[in-house]
Amino acid sequence: MLGELLAKLKPVKKGGGDSKEPMSEPSEASSSALFGKLLVKKKLPLLGVDLSASSVKVLELSKAGEHYRVERYAVEPMPQNAIVEHNITEVEQVGRR
């Protein structure tokens, strides 16, 4: 269920960005910087998961300075009575979704 939910993560719209300016030729310095970024080990995404009786919610977070920012999210409804009083009662149904 979690894998399918992660595949459904939707990007959060960010302001601006629709520039109509033509792309310029990359300079040697910018090519070098880009190559350097490819060699740098990427940070693993930070995920927030909320499992409740009614749904499963997943957030992908990134750190922006001192704050966290939601990059993508997904929500999937939980089968009725799959979780009762903080216990998963229908393991097969929850695992399949």
**Predicted confidence (pLDDT) per residue in 30-54, tens digit:** 666 666 666 666 677 789 999 888 8
Rounded average pLDDT over 21-31: 54
Task: Compute CA 94 distance to the chain's CA centroid, rounded to the nearest angstrom.
Answer: 20
> CA 43, CA 28: separation in Å to the nearest integer?
26
55 Cβ contact list (under 8 Å, min separation 6):
75, 76, 77, 78
pLDDT beyond 50 at 8: yes
pLDDT beyond 70 at 87: yes
pLDDT, tens digit, for every residue of 70-81? 999 999 998 888
97 Cβ contact list (under 8 Å, min separation 6):
1, 4, 56, 76, 78, 79
pLDDT recorded at residue 26: 52
